Structures are given as C-alpha cells and as structure tokens.
Chain A
Amino acid sequence: MLELLKKIVKAPAISGREGAVADVISALMEPICDEVYRDKLGNLIAVKHGSAPEGERKKIMFAAHMDEIGFFVTFIEDNGYIRLAPIGGINFVAAAYTNVIFANGVKGVLVPETGTKADALTFDKFYVDIGAKDKKEAERRVKIGDYFVIEPSVTRLCGKRVAGRPLDDRVGCAIMVETARRVPTPRDDVYYVFTAQEEVGCRGAKTAAFAIAPDVAIAYDVTGTGDTIGAKPMAVKVGGGAAIKLKDSSVICSTELVAALETAAREEKIAYQIEILPYGGTDTSSMQMAGSGCMAGCLSVPTRYIHSGVEMIDLGDVEACVALTAAYLVRA
C-alpha cells in the first residue's frame, strides 16, 4: 500500500490539471478493468463489469478525487519573483517557507513577503522564489498560467503512521486501486471514478455521476480528527479504523448504505468508527444529488493536518477502508 501511495502522490495535479496523475492511475487500472476512459471534465473512469446476469447487476460508483490544492502563476515581477493565485483551500500558515515544484519540474520556494505577520498570511502576500536573477531568467522557466504545488512527499513514521502530501486525496485513489485488485470479479458493475476538481467545489463527481447514474455511490476521502492538541471535540481518531461518514456540511449519507457498511464491518470484524463532521464537503453530495439522485455514502481516512505538507494517516485505517469496501461488494 505504501509503495502504491508513493507512486500516486508523485504526480502534481491541481484542480483542472489532473492529467499527470490520471496517466499514473490509468496505467494501474488498465490491466485489471474492462474499460478505462476519461470524460470531458477530466475524470478518469475505470469500469469492471459484474459477474451477475445482465439486468440483475447494480451500478456501483466509487469516487476519489485526483486533484490537489495548489497554485497558478499570475504574474512575474521584474526581479524574477513569481506571484500566484490559490486553487482550493490553501492553509497559508502551512504553506509558508515550503519547497514547491512546477508541472515542468522547475523547483522553487514559497515564501511570504519579508515582515508579514503570521495572522496576515494571505495569498497576495506570497511569492515563489525559483532563484532566477531577473524576470527574463524566470520567464525562461515559468510562464503565466503554469501551475505548481507544494512538493509531494511520503514519510514513514512510528508504526503504521505516514505523513506527507497530497494524501488528500491520493490515499482515496490508492484505496480504489487496491480494491479493484482485491475484488477481481465483483457481482455488480463497479465504476471506479477518479474525479477532477473536487477541491474547487466537488465538480467532477457531479458530471460523472450524472453520466453513470449509479444505484449506489461511495466516496473515499480524508476527514478531520479530534485527536490533536487543540482539536474541537470529534470522535474520529487516526488509527481508529475506517470512518463511515454520517454527515458533513454538504451531505447526509443515505441511512441504508450507512447501515450496510456498518453490518459489513461488524461481520468481518473490520475496525470502523462513525464520522459526524460539523464542516467540510466531499464528492459524496455531488454523487447523491446528480440527476435524479442515488444512495450515497463515504468512507473516510482519518487525517491530521489536512491541506498541509504533513498530512498524517494510519495505513491500518487505509487497509480497513479497502477491506470494508471488498466486504460491502460481496453483500451489496
């Protein structure tokens, strides 16, 4: 799982520019799926046809988003410093003084203007220093409209803990790839959808779900936890198992699906916890509300320090998500 995750985090892919990571995942899914294609919004869709007779198969859609938060280049200063616009919910405290990498491989550091106080860290106070001596040299490497991200990394910590970025939501993509490997002959038709533009409003999942019109949809994404110093009370913790979402700000998960996931977890003795997130949103709502609607839920990976360079997860929870999905597919 760690190797898979490392492979998938490496490709930089901000919202709307998911091609690089789609290439990586596509290569992983092609040998194990019946059909792999991309839609017009940039979603990557891998289909595994079910073994049940035609007409008796449900359409099950799984979704994890490929896109990550990042930055567009908006302007290059005369001295070669590069100004930016954020894509998605950047935490600028976490973004200060980090290594960044452009899609073309150019590296730089993301820094705030000298003297900026911590509570004034907004995107217009930031620039990227790629070490260019002037505008001309900078322009040879980077042009307006290029994008960059904080450098991807995956670091193994104690036990099964891993920190790095963008675990949001490449860990969800990894769960889906691993599930497809582990369930080679599902009974129902399974659509593994690696979605685009989640970080800017859960957009890709909406159009993909409209086109697929699934009976059941499950999103795989990270969720906040209550287990850090200063965290708001929340029952979810890293290492506590797969988090079965009941609600976040954008969705109330379908009760029958929540019950089915809980039953599967209990019967297979898979560690799980119940997630009630007082904020946030995921592809779940987009799928639930696409077209005339479908039954939708979400399995979350409890994650500390989301949207920073040191997002932290427990591989045990990731494994629990895979096992639970496989168990659900048998029972769906």
Chain B
Amino acid sequence: MELKQRITEMAGLMSISGHENYDRAALLDQLADIFDEVTTDPMGSHICIRRCGRQGAPKILIDAHFDEIGMMVTEILDGGFLRVINIGGIDTRILQAGEVIIYGEKPIYGIIGSTPPHLQKPGDAKKLKPINELLIDTGYDKDELEKLVRLGTPVGFVPAYTELLGGKLAGKGFDNKACGAAAVDALSRLDRAEMAGDVYLLLASQEEVGLRGGETGAAGIDPDYALVVDVTHGSAPDTKKDEAFPLGEGITISLSAATDLRLTRRTVELAREKGIKFTRVVEAANTGTDANVTQLVCCGIPTVVASLPLRSMHTYQEVLSPDDAEELGKLISAFVCDTKIAEDFAR
C-alpha cells in the first residue's frame, strides 16, 4: 500500500481524545499482518508490538499519539441545534460554516452555523465567538435528535482529503496520525532480523488534552529507549524561520534539554548516514510532545523527538507533504534497526 493511502486512511478514522477506541476495528484492519500483537490499554492507547525474534532484545518505543482534536455535545436545543465544547486546542476561528460529523447512535452530518453579515451588529465581525456560543445545525427536530445524540457525544471534522499540487495532501487528522501512518508503513517494510530490538509502536491516547496516554502507555511498556514522532509547524510566507519548516524538505529533529543528548546526537548522525532530509530545531526546554512525559516514566527513558512539518495545524484542512512522511519513515526504520543505539542504550 502507498504511504499516501495509509496516511489518509488512518487520519480518516475518528479518534477524538478519549474516544480512541471508536474505530478500533478499522484501525486493526490497517495494522493487520504487520504486528505480532495489538492491545489497547485502559487509557485507550493502542500498543502495537513487532518482535525481532531474539531473546532478551531491547524494547524500542516509537510514540505517535493517535488522538485528534474535536468537540463534545453539551446541549441539545430546539430546532435541532447542538452546543459543543472543544476537546483539545481547536482553532475556533475556523469553525463557523464548517462541516462536522456528530458521532451519535449513527453518524449525523452537521453544519456549524454562522450569523450572516446582514444580521450582525456593528463590531461583531471583529469579535471571535467562543466555541460555547456556536450552534451546530443538524436539520433534525429536537425530539428526533435526542434519540440519536446525548450529552457528551463526540463531534469531529469530516474526513475528506484533497491532493494539492506537488502531491501535497489537505484534510483533517494529520496531527498526528500522519506520523502514526509513517511508522506503520516503515515497520511493515522491515525485515524482523534487521530490527535491533522488539518494536513497540504506541499509538497514544489523549495527547491533545495533556500528554496523558503517552505517559501511562510508556510506563506500561517500560522501554529501553524511545523515539517520539509528532507534527511541527509547516512554513508559509507569514511564519518565522525558527518556528516553522518548509514542506517537502524533510523532517526536523529536536535539540532540547528535555530529550536525551546522546541519543539525539546518534539519531542525527544516523539521519546523515542514511541520507535522510532533515533540519535540526532548537526547542530549549520543552518539545511540546509526548516526549515530555515519555522521558520521565519508570526510571527515566532516553528519548529523541522527530517531527513532520504540517501547515494549518489544528484545523480540518491541515496540509502536509507525503515526501516528508517518507523521510520520517526512513528515520524510524533506521532508528529501530540501529545496533549502535541498541548497544549504547539497552539496559
């Protein structure tokens, strides 16, 4: 299967924080024949194990959080309208007139209503409506809607994907399932004998609401060392050079006080050896990823972070380049196969 297809298939699953099990059957299909074991822990993280076949081999953790931002129903109103609150850091500016799916008894299509310019009061255009003042228009009657939707029903963006010029992709859920798909794709191509240890791909839950599933997941696995893969900002004419990175020019590797220096150095060296396109990025004290918690579980886990540039993050039209995802896959392969890292970091 092409990586592009893997990315849109995984991104298209419903996996709003706290509901990472919703599309579990479809996820298992996507992971079939690649892993020896796929389990789901009590926090909803999916742990996918691919063994190298040798006794006493190190445990290598690849963390790619699987949850995505979304919303949750807080009120069902007359006329078939719903009120919601956000799950994770939704960019509220993009919501009005957006299309959503309400994951009730059956999936329901909805439109986030907006006040027409004619009906706005002076000054309204300059104000941003907070999310709890927005109304989702379902077209149903309240009575009918109440049979299908309840308080707490998750609401997500429509999985529709567009290929832009140059092969780039636009759609929802690339943060961070594009990285998960890149990891699955890379591992599917690896010969087990090449792997320097048993690989634990942690499709972690609840990253978007506070790095939660990555913490408990890593604690349950207690790996010898870890690579955390997540998205970073893609550059545009209005972004700064040190906070966003061009699409199509590869991935980033984080230099941070919050990651392991030796492991990072070796990963950078490895990327150079394999001709992987990458940039080093300084994230002084905090990478803003699951690595913050991964490195602190159990007795401490040496951790390195690699990231995939993504434009318009936390919207339903995130944009990435599949070429960058290929580079990320190459790094993941090189990382799990590197015997030097295994020798240095196996406990």
**A interface residues, Cβ below 8 angstroms from B:** 215, 233-235, 246-247, 250, 252-255, 258, 274, 276, 278, 285, 288-289, 291-296
Query: Are A274 and B217 closer than 8 Å at their CB atoms?
Result: no
B154 nearest CB neighbor, chain A only? A255
Query: Are B217 and A292 closer than 8 Å at their CB atoms?
Result: yes
Inter-chain contacts of B213 with A (CB < 8 A): 293
Inter-chain contacts of B215 with A (CB < 8 A): 289
Query: Are B152 and A291 closer than 8 Å at their CB atoms?
Result: no
B215 nearest CB neighbor, chain A only? A289
Given contacts A252-B87, A252-B209, contact A276 B17 (CB under 8 A): no
Asked whether B150 is an interface residue with its Cβ less than 8 Å from the other chain, the reply is yes
Asked whether B74 is an interface residue with its Cβ less than 8 Å from the other chain, the reply is yes
Complex: how many Å from CA A294 to CA B42?
Answer: 5
Asked whether B234 is an interface residue with its Cβ less than 8 Å from the other chain, the reply is no
Inter-chain contacts of A258 with B (CB < 8 A): 152
Given contacts A258-B152, A274-B150, contact A293 B74 (CB under 8 A): no
Inter-chain contacts of B41 with A (CB < 8 A): 292-293
Contact with A along B29-41 (1 / 0, CB 8 A): 0000000000001
Q: Which of B21, B43, B72, B219 contacts A247 (CB 8 A)?
A: B72
In the complex, chain B residues 1-54 whose Cβ is within 8 Å of any chain A Cβ:
17-19, 21, 41-45
Query: Are B75 and A233 closer than 8 Å at their CB atoms?
Result: yes
B152 nearest CB neighbor, chain A only? A246
Inter-chain contacts of B193 with A (CB < 8 A): none
Query: Are A255 and B43 closer than 8 Å at their CB atoms?
Result: no
Given contacts A276-B85, A288-B43, contact A255 B151 (CB under 8 A): no
Query: Are A278 and B152 closer than 8 Å at their CB atoms?
Result: no
Query: Are B132 and A278 closer than 8 Å at their CB atoms?
Result: yes
Complex: how many Å from CA A293 to CA B213?
Answer: 8
Query: Are A293 and B220 closer than 8 Å at their CB atoms?
Result: yes
Given contacts A255-B18, A293-B216, A293-B220, contact A276 B72 (CB under 8 A): yes
Q: Which of A246, A288, A291 contacts B151 (CB 8 A)?
A: A246
Q: Which of B17, B18, B44, B151 contacts A235 (CB 8 A)?
A: B151
**B interface residues, Cβ below 8 angstroms from A:** 17-19, 21, 41-45, 72, 74-75, 83, 85, 87, 132, 150-152, 206, 209-210, 212-213, 215-217, 219-220
Query: Are A274 and B152 closer than 8 Å at their CB atoms?
Result: yes
Inter-chain contacts of A278 with B (CB < 8 A): 85, 132
Nearest CB of A to B171, in Å: 24
Secondary structure dominating the interface of B: loop
Given contacts A274-B151, A292-B41, A293-B43, contact A235 B87 (CB under 8 A): no
Inter-chain contacts of A289 with B (CB < 8 A): 43, 212, 215-216
B22 nearest CB neighbor, chain A only? A255
Inter-chain contacts of B206 with A (CB < 8 A): 252
21 A-B Cβ contacts within 8 A? Answer: A233-B74, A233-B132, A234-B74, A247-B18, A247-B152, A252-B17, A252-B209, A255-B19, A274-B151, A276-B74, A276-B85, A278-B132, A289-B43, A289-B215, A291-B219, A292-B42, A292-B219, A293-B43, A293-B45, A293-B216, A294-B43
Inter-chain contacts of A254 with B (CB < 8 A): 42-44
Inter-chain contacts of B45 with A (CB < 8 A): 293
Inter-chain contacts of B210 with A (CB < 8 A): 250
Inter-chain contacts of B217 with A (CB < 8 A): 292-293
Inter-chain contacts of B132 with A (CB < 8 A): 233, 278
Nearest CB of A to B293, in Å: 9
Complex: how many Å from CA A247 to CA B84?
Answer: 13
B42, B44, B213 — most chain A CB neighbours (10 Å): B42
Inter-chain contacts of B152 with A (CB < 8 A): 246-247, 258, 274, 276
Inter-chain contacts of B72 with A (CB < 8 A): 246-247, 276
Inter-chain contacts of A234 with B (CB < 8 A): 74
Complex: how many Å from CA A184 to CA B298?
Answer: 37
Complex: how many Å from CA A296 to CA B216?
Answer: 13
Nearest CB of A to B223, in Å: 12
Inter-chain contacts of A215 with B (CB < 8 A): 42
Inter-chain contacts of A255 with B (CB < 8 A): 18-19, 21
Nearest CB of B to A137, in Å: 50
3 residue pairs, one from A and one from B, having the closest CB atoms:
A293-B216, A292-B220, A252-B18
Inter-chain contacts of B87 with A (CB < 8 A): 247, 252
A275 nearest CB neighbor, chain B only? B151
Query: Are B74 and A235 closer than 8 Å at their CB atoms?
Result: yes
Inter-chain contacts of B220 with A (CB < 8 A): 291-293
Inter-chain contacts of A252 with B (CB < 8 A): 17-18, 87, 206, 209
B74 nearest CB neighbor, chain A only? A276
Inter-chain contacts of A288 with B (CB < 8 A): 42-43, 212, 216
Nearest CB of A to B220, in Å: 3
Nearest CB of B to A297, in Å: 11
